[in-house]
Amino acid sequence: MDGGNILIFALASDSHTQFFFTLLVMFVAAKLAAELFERLKQPAVAGEILAGVLIGPSVLGLIAPSELTDALSELGVIFLLFLVGLETKPADILRVGGRALLVAVLGVVLPFVAGYLLLWAWGKPQIEAIFVGAAMVATSVGITARVLGQMGLLNTVTSRIILGAAVIDDVLGLIILAVVSSLAKGGINYAQIATTAALAIGFTVIVALIGARAINKLQPRIQKLKVGQSYLVFGFSLCLVLAYVASFIGVAAIIGAFLAGMAMSESAHETDMPIQAEAVTEFLLPFFLTSIGMKLKLDALMNREVILLAIVVTILAVVTKLFGCGLGALSLGLKNAMRVGMGMVPRGEVGIVVAQIGLGLAAVSDAIYGVVLVMAVATTLIAPPFLVLLYKGEKVENEERIFPITPIS
Amino acid sequence: MDGGNILIFALASDSHTQFFFTLLVMFVAAKLAAELFERLKQPAVAGEILAGVLIGPSVLGLIAPSELTDALSELGVIFLLFLVGLETKPADILRVGGRALLVAVLGVVLPFVAGYLLLWAWGKPQIEAIFVGAAMVATSVGITARVLGQMGLLNTVTSRIILGAAVIDDVLGLIILAVVSSLAKGGINYAQIATTAALAIGFTVIVALIGARAINKLQPRIQKLKVGQSYLVFGFSLCLVLAYVASFIGVAAIIGAFLAGMAMSESAHETDMPIQAEAVTEFLLPFFLTSIGMKLKLDALMNREVILLAIVVTILAVVTKLFGCGLGALSLGLKNAMRVGMGMVPRGEVGIVVAQIGLGLAAVSDAIYGVVLVMAVATTLIAPPFLVLLYKGEKVENEERIFPITPIS
């Protein structure tokens, strides 16, 4: 295992400086855009994603996506979901479980069918149509969680339904992706898909049900550890363990991080941990948001037909989640249904990953990959301002919050 | 700029899982070792470095150093020095400036001359002897800063001398490295070396002298910014900016981070920033410590002669810093002189980088590179327990500290 050459590459002066240049440009561009958007009374999240579009290959070309930016981006969204989990008690999610399931299922079926039918009607190959449908299923809950968190609204019923539905949505999306991938490889492996589904469901349900109880029992022992900041260190460790297990099983790592946070939500009150986890998130999250924007490749939109298709796919992606998920929450009234629907609209990095797998299996063309990128980034940009509008005037339930986040002005 | 393939590589399931495996093993191994060492009343830092040796290529081979581990390691030490800077007022360093200069100069001359003469007497080529001398000059202040920080002793006079001397040491080391590198390339470029020296000295002196005053003036404006957690965000930004500029000029990025922290040390008292920066450090620092251990390659020690040389070089590396730096601080009494000398012993990542540059310029053989690795890791492991012994009984000056760190039991 001779890592010598890699090391020299990474540490020699030039690439070393390049490393700090990348960090600096991504972080500062994101935060300048956030500042500008806050002054314009727009959600900071949208500004940070647009900053990524600006510095990325599509516009200025200052920074190209790399393994490093992906790693930081992944860490950013992991910590965000861990933090959101810390604010979410398992009982709160279980209470809205039935409705969340309905929201998730309708929010999976409608976009998939619509995406498939559109591409099929547009004359694309069946396997490509199926992949676009699968990419339209994905929900990137990080964006919505950040917007609601900054508004101090993570503890509303609609926020809980969105979080619960996002977890279920991810498990359903995993099963669809497994089916779609085996189709692209030539045939469906039922045993493998059943195993994937059982593992994903088993992991999520078991951790959600017994995680908090186990951590509550462990807490006195954790605080007796000699290592400095033992509770924080335990939290980071649990977050990494569950993110790894989730990723190993095939569920998104963020689901593991969210479950880790949720497992600690009851015992974290008594510690500095939420403020500390928030600081880590503040540092890492801009890399996630700018990374999404950086992935947009406008040069893939080579002709009018592709541009038109990108626009139609994006509209369909917004409308089907809004109606599908909204329908599932309609019993809470029209306004709340629209909040839930809009909260599920962003596709972000999850949609991009699905399209990348299709590209890797040669089931998706470069043009359609570009279309999915536009859809993923556009849905992620469209949702935040509408969320702010839909939640305007909603009372911040400060008494239930375990730590304060600066609200959007 | 087609990042498609890189992206697929980074995000596709297997390497995605590998990413979390790497994070998980490094973090958890470091913290388990820290817990064990604390229970044995040994410094946690040494445990975390040994954990890196254990999981690295030399023993278990679970994780190999990569661009990713280097990036996380670099971020870890950056935040550590930023945090140390936050506890260090510029006036405190300037007050000990003359003594720090003497400590740094003697601590540079002795190891360099000794290393050079030893390798030359051992029959090695002159250029190789010069590179080993240069690698023995380097001081990795992060290790000492972490040990003293965990003991709550960053505000003692000796700690301030160590910090000041480490900054000067780094600038001197840069100049030596510039001379050595141009020698290896065939001739000395005096103009280039003079420019490097002037930039390094100018940057350090200017930021140290006017940084804090500038930030104090800016503070009311920073707190009026609309972006969430504006002071923390500004701190992260300044840290990245100065780390980048330092790296661009050729000084170690950690010097930039330290200066950034120092510039904010006066205004940070009124905010949560130190606790928040500490949380980020707690997450990232284990990657720095395990990375040092992971870089050890025992298979380079192929024969008795090389092993013997590694032992002699290591002893010389400890003795020359201890005596050289100690001599510079002798007017403070023998015990304080030994504290300062021992604090400057760890070579860590800085010594490794010098040897890597020599390897890249074909001036250093694989065997001698292995010798320097052993010296760098061994000095880093030797210093912490002696520091704990030498500082035993020293009163923790809590009233001057702006944030508490769990002291070593």
The string of pLDDT tens digits covering residues A5-30 is 333 333 345 677 889 999 999 999 99
Architecture of domain A18-62+75-394: Up-down Bundle (1.20)
Residue B318 confidence (pLDDT) above 70: yes
Measured between beta carbons, the chain A residues lying within 8 angstroms of B57 are: 1, 3
**Mean predicted confidence (pLDDT) in B168-182:** 83
CA distance A68 to A23: 10
pLDDT 10s digits, A214-240:
988 888 888 888 888 888 999 999 999
* Alpha-carbon distances of B80 from A71, A73, B144, B258, rounded to whole Å: 21, 21, 11, 8
pLDDT per residue as tens digits for the range B326-360: 999 999 999 999 999 999 999 888 888 888 888 87
CB contact, 8 Å: B365 with chain A? no
What pLDDT is attached to residue A326? Answer: 94
pLDDT classification of B316: cutoffs 50, 70, 90: very high
Q: What is the mean pLDDT of residues B295-322?
A: 88
Q: Does the distance separating the beta carbons of B275 and A275 come in below 8 Å?
A: yes
Q: Would you say A327 and A106 are in contact if contact means Cβ atoms under 8 Å apart?
A: yes
Q: Which residues of A touch B243 (CB under 8 A)?
A: 20, 24
pTM for this model (two decimals)? 0.86
Q: Residues of B with CB below 8 A from A369's CB?
A: 4
pLDDT in 10s for each residue of chain A, 409 residues: 333 333 333 334 567 788 999 999 999 999 999 999 989 888 888 899 999 999 998 889 999 899 899 999 999 999 998 988 888 888 888 888 899 999 999 999 999 999 999 999 999 998 899 989 999 998 888 889 888 888 889 889 999 999 999 888 888 888 888 888 888 777 777 888 888 888 888 998 898 888 888 988 888 888 888 888 888 999 999 999 999 998 888 888 888 999 999 899 888 877 888 888 989 999 999 999 999 889 887 777 778 888 999 999 999 999 999 999 999 999 999 999 999 999 999 988 888 888 888 887 888 888 888 899 889 889 999 999 999 999 987 766 544 444 444 443 3
> What distance in Å separates the CA atoms of residue A253 and residue A244, rounded to the nearest whole number?
6
**10 Å Cβ neighbour count for A362?**
9
Tokens describing residue A167:
């977890």
> Quick check: helix, strand or coil at residue A174?
helix
Q: Chains A and B: how many Cβ contacts under 8 Å?
A: 210
Q: Is B121 on the interface with A (CB under 8 A)?
A: no
Looking at the domain that runs over B69-283+313-365, which CATH code has it been given? 1.20.1530.20
Report how far residue A259's alpha carbon sits from residue A243's, in angstroms, rounded to the nearest whole number.
Answer: 9
Of B3, B356, B405, which is closest to A66 when you measure between CB atoms?
B3
For the stretch A169-223, pLDDT in tens is: 888 888 888 888 888 777 777 888 888 888 888 998 898 888 888 988 888 888 8
DSSP letter at B298 equals: G
Q: Hey, how many other C-beta atoms are within 10 angstroms of the C-beta on B294? A: 30
Positive or negative, the CA dihedral B43, B44, B49, B50 is positive
CA distance B71 to B78: 11
Give chain B positions within 8 Å (CB) of A149: none
Q: Tell me how far apart the alpha carbons of residues A96 and A259 are, in angstroms, rounded to a whole number.
A: 16
Complex ipTM: 0.85
Tokens of A386: 């509408």
Partner-chain contact B17 A233, CB within 8 Å = no
DSSP string, B173-238: HHHHHHHHHHHHTTS--HHHHHHHHHHHHHHHHHHHHHHHHHHHHHHHHHHH-SSTTHHHHHHHHH
Q: What percent of the residues of chain A are helix, what percent strand, and what percent coil, each to the nearest 5?
A: 80, 0, 20
Whole-number CA gyration radius for chain B: 21
| Residue A168 per-residue DSSP state | H
State residue B297's pLDDT score.
Answer: 79
Least Cα distance to B85 among B200, B256, B214 occurs for: B256
**Which chain B residue shows the shortest CA-CA distance from A58?**
B1
- Residue B232 to residue A7, Cβ atoms within 8 A: no
The two tokens of residue A317 are 């992606």
Distance (Å) from the C-alpha of residue B57 to the closest C-alpha of chain A?
7
pLDDT value at position A112? 94
Task: Please report, for chain A, the start and end positions of each structural domain, with discontinuous segments joined by +.
Answer: 18-62+75-394
Q: Which of A219, A13, B129, A117 shows the shortest CA–CA distance to A238?
A: A219
Indicate the residue of A23, A44, A65 with minimum beta-carbon distance to B240: A23
Distance between CA B334 and CA B321 in Å, rounded?
Answer: 15
Cβ–Cβ gap B20/A253 under 8 Å: yes
CB A117 within 8 Å of CB A109: no
